[in-house]
A and B are shown apart, each in its own frame.
Chain A
């Protein structure tokens, strides 16, 4: 079944640790996105990708980085986690046409202590 997967679902980690949030989709979508969502707030786009070897910064500045070596895989990395990075991170993907919806993963809730 075509879908989009994020792991881990929940992560509690200490300050200064390096972390990678995984995102994979089986729908063959060229476009992939990372959103950050704080409780009671709107989603903010932090990274997106047009396709393999393409990555761009989104609207909300983020210390995280992303890579797109394979079409189906779009991991997000924080080199040194801080409490200010505590948030929910949502990965999404879409086709390359105007007006199409994005499909979302279940999210990773990150807590940095």
Chain B
């Protein structure tokens, strides 16, 4: 069965510093990978996704993630964070379930706290 491990439960960082949120997955088949962001008292919003092609994917707000098949990782990075990036970040892998449905398996989340 697939699983997702987010190695850091909390990441404190100062504003304008770089940040990396780590995500490893286990799977014996091809995967689709996602990063979702959850702001306080909100639902999850898609940040970026990897389906195929280029292993480096970018979001519109400066985040990027690199798919590394050999290391089964999909780490999220941003070169310079803002206070507004403070949120919970979830890594997820999509499994195509029997009967045809997208089953998203989530990691436990990483709380990014950006300090001035």
Tell which of A11-19, A63-71, A74-82, A99-107 binds the partner. Answer: A99-107
Is B13 engaged at the interface, CB distance under 8 Å to the other chain? no
Would you give the 0/1 interface string for A78-113, flagging 1 where the beta carbon is closer than 8 Å to chain B? 000000000000101010101111111111010000
Is A41 engaged at the interface, CB distance under 8 Å to the other chain? yes
Q: Kindly count the residue-residue contacts between A and B in the assembled complex, taking CB atoms under 8 Å apart.
A: 65
B51 touches A106 (CB 8 A): no
State the majority secondary structure of interface residues on B.
strand
When distances are taken between beta carbons in the complex, the residues of chain A under 8 Å from B109 are: 40-42
B45 touches A50 (CB 8 A): no
Question: With the chains together, A9 CA to B41 CA distance in Å?
Answer: 9
Size range of the interface on A? Answer: 20 to 34
Q: A42-B90, A42-B108, A42-B109 are in contact. Are A101 and B103 (CB under 8 A)?
A: no
Q: A50-B100, A99-B32 are in contact. Are A90 and B108 (CB under 8 A)?
A: no
Is A45 engaged at the interface, CB distance under 8 Å to the other chain? yes
Is B80 engaged at the interface, CB distance under 8 Å to the other chain? no
* B12 → A minimal CB distance (Å): 16
Question: With the chains together, A100 CA to B78 CA distance in Å?
Answer: 24
Q: Which of A56, A104, A105 has the most CB of B within 10 A?
A: A104
Question: With the chains together, A11 CA to B100 CA distance in Å?
Answer: 33
Binding site for B on A (CB under 8 A): 4, 6, 9, 31, 33, 35, 40-43, 45, 48, 50, 56, 90, 92, 94, 96, 98-107, 109
7 contacts between A and B (CB under 8 A): A41-B108, A42-B107, A45-B104, A90-B43, A96-B100, A102-B102, A103-B46
Binding site for A on B (CB under 8 A): 4, 9, 32, 34, 36, 41-46, 49, 51, 90, 94, 96, 99-104, 106-109
